[in-house]
Structure 1
């Protein structure tokens, strides 16, 4: 049994009802996705999430909405959050990604885990024993998809940050700069990821 039930519009407080109206306007639909209904249990969180989602995930900014949708999908996969996985997969397709590219987004995020695990261990071990030893791991996924190098790098930066891998995060940030990804675009990628991660964590905890 879920810890929190969705707050249906018919049972919502006046403040939550106002937020639901803004969400409908943003999405251009009368139907409110279930995650937002669950967030309706805490109006302040619903308000924060809506405002951040609209600015950093849903609309164009320093990054286009299509790139943000891919980052958001990667975060939903990271959090193993089925409702958001389904919503962001559909969002990606609606913005022009093929089903094969949706799979590639998930694969890039998963491959990042492999490198995060390795380099985080070398960093956390506090030992010089492994210095100079080759990584030995294959990562053709980073260069073998149709997503484009910049999008792959943005996903790598965000996932490495959430996985708290300092060497990977700093390495991917430097590579992003070499690719002429601006500081504003990097910041917005992190803001997108942070917003989605908050939404995923709340939903996972509540349901």
Structure 2
């Protein structure tokens, strides 16, 4: 859930957390739903990741989602936001559609709220979904930061597009290359002419 805060979303993605609230006299608890936008989610992740490690033989090992990955994601976004196409380079955008793609996420419930934010890393969230490739929402993928010569949504998953037949046909079309199938069809339909 690292949506781009610079993108103009129709509705900004949110991370919601049901938090356990204890009264000042410690005899009453309740749950409160807190909402975090794209900017505020960075602070949320920093709090959630503070104990997301494993102690093995006296060594602390970071679990898969950790501070290093959070920093890497932030620095990658910075690089991508500054990227520009060289003059004379055309941009074509192919993105995935037709799959439920997580958009908003909610941790905890009203009856089972999160007490400490580090529990988020061990909690199964509930998602709301939008159209996309299963990873990236179509709304943001279709609106690439570069001016596209063509922008096409293809039914398929984020990684599945890399081996999708329709994607290769589009690339061949844009490069002006005929596919083997088109060449075979062309060979079969040519007529033999008697020149005599």
Q: Please indicate, yes or no, whether the TM-score normalized by the shorter chain is above 0.5.
A: no
Considering fraction of residues, name the structure with more helix. Answer: 1
Q: Relative CO higher for 1 or 2, CA cutoff 8 Å, sep ≥ 6? A: 1
Hey, which of these two has a bigger chunk of strand by percent?
2
Q: Looking at CA atoms only, which structure, 1 or 2, has the larger radius of gyration?
A: 2
